Amino acid sequence: MPAYQYKAVNSRGVHLTGIYEDVPDTEHLHAELKKLGCQLLEAERLERKGSEIGKKSKIRQAEIVSFAYEFSGMFAAGLSVVRCLETLEEQASNQTLKPILGSVRRSIETGVSLSQAFEPYRDIFGDFFIGMLEAGQTGGTLAQTLKKAAEYYEKQLEVKNKITGAFVYPAVVAFLCVGILTAIVIFVIPVFQRLYQQLHIELPVPTQILILLSGLVRHHFWVFPLLVGLVYWGWKKTQNHPTLRAFWDKFVLTLPGVGPLLETMLISRYIRTFAMMSSAGIGIVQALQQARQVCRNSVISKIGEQIEQKIMAGGSLTNLLAEHPIFPPLIVQLAHAGEEAGLLTEMLTKGADYLDSAVERRANAILVKLEPLLTIIMGTIVGLILLGVYLPMFDYMSHIK
């Protein structure tokens, strides 16, 4: 949707200016401002550039963590929300984050609540962040909830970096091997092809396949980016189709090695989000809903919905977690101890920390198995290619003898 730069006047006669995002036309803009007690005077539609404001890929999670910590510290020091945002906007080095903060600040100056001002950028800051803002405003604990949000995202980023770091070496090895194989197919095989043509050697089937592959790569290289694009398009369609998405989410959890790792990560995120939301003063059902949405997995969503319905009917969280085998026994026991002692959020946070450690251990275990397996696979492929290249030569030498 387009954005509009506007001038308005409030009920006290104060003139205001700002930018309103995601309104289809000036009539809707007039209606939105009227809800805030303002009268629209002028409106100018802003043309969006190719690099649209708020593009998710241009703001790293580490920058959101830093922003949340700084916002929390400034607000706790006594600065107003508008002044905090002004300062953060001035010192922001990210040219995508800077206009977002400016837009949020201008919205707040017109009377919009903080969570509503961030709402157009939910895809960037996440459901958890918006929920914590709402809880902080309602409970008057904005500084604390902002700090909790920063700690939450920092923990998620830490786990993500550990997983990424663990798989950097195999990824580099795989990339180098693919590069070497591609060089052999493009440069080495044509040389032997010309040699065998000059010697009039009958080529075995493996060599013919290699020559065919070499010709395809050299003369029809555009096919491979097209295939990658089709795969990516199909994957995006799968993500947007509810039935296919549900099948995919269930399928990846059954994959050997990867499935248990992903399942542990999802459970950790679900438990940690619920614990953080509850500690911010959000009701148990709403906290469970937010945790389910943050996970973005249909399997977890289905289980979460069942738990929420039974909680509203008066069920115990411990008993409901125990009904689903996806939750480890440790989490169930910690929830039970937390409910009895009145320390549910603290105990579940400890459980999430344990699951994060388990994720790291499982990732390292996969890596230990993956490295030799990758070496064997790549060595086998290189060996088969070289065998296909030299088979005609061996046959030719045998005839000479």
Mean pLDDT of 187-203: 83
Q: Residue 249 in contact with residue 299, Cβ under 8 Å?
A: yes
pLDDT value for 178: 83
Average pLDDT on 47-51 reads: 43
- Distance (Å, whole) CA 217 – CA 96: 39
CB 87 within 8 A of CB 79: yes
Sign, CA torsion 134/135/138/142: negative
What is the predicted pLDDT for the residue at 327? Answer: 93
Q: Which two tokens stand for residue 21?
A: 């995002």
Whether 267 has a pLDDT exceeding 90, the answer reads yes
Say if CB 7 and CB 15 are below 8 A apart.
yes
Question: Residue 270 has what pLDDT?
Answer: 92
How far apart (Å, rounded) are the C-alpha atoms in residues 227 and 230?
A: 5
**Each residue of 357-378: pLDDT tens digit?**
888 888 888 888 887 888 888 8
CB-CB neighbours of 149 under 10 Å: 29
Which amino acid, one-letter code, is at 144?
A: Q
Indicate whether 17 pLDDT > 60.
yes
Name beta bridge partners: 38.
Answer: 10
**What does the pLDDT average to over 56-67?**
77
Token pair in block for residue 340:
């009895």
Question: How much is the pLDDT for 347?
Answer: 93
Residues 6+ apart with CB under 8 A from 253: 259, 262, 263, 299
pLDDT in tens, 313-329: 888 889 999 999 999 99
Angle between the N-to-C axes of helices 142-166 and 122-139, in degrees from 0 to 180, rounded to the nearest 10: 150
Distance of alpha carbon 82 from alpha carbon 99, whole angstroms? 14
Is 143:76 a contact under the CB 8 Å cutoff?
yes
User: Residue 168 belongs to what H/E stretch?
Assistant: helix 168-183
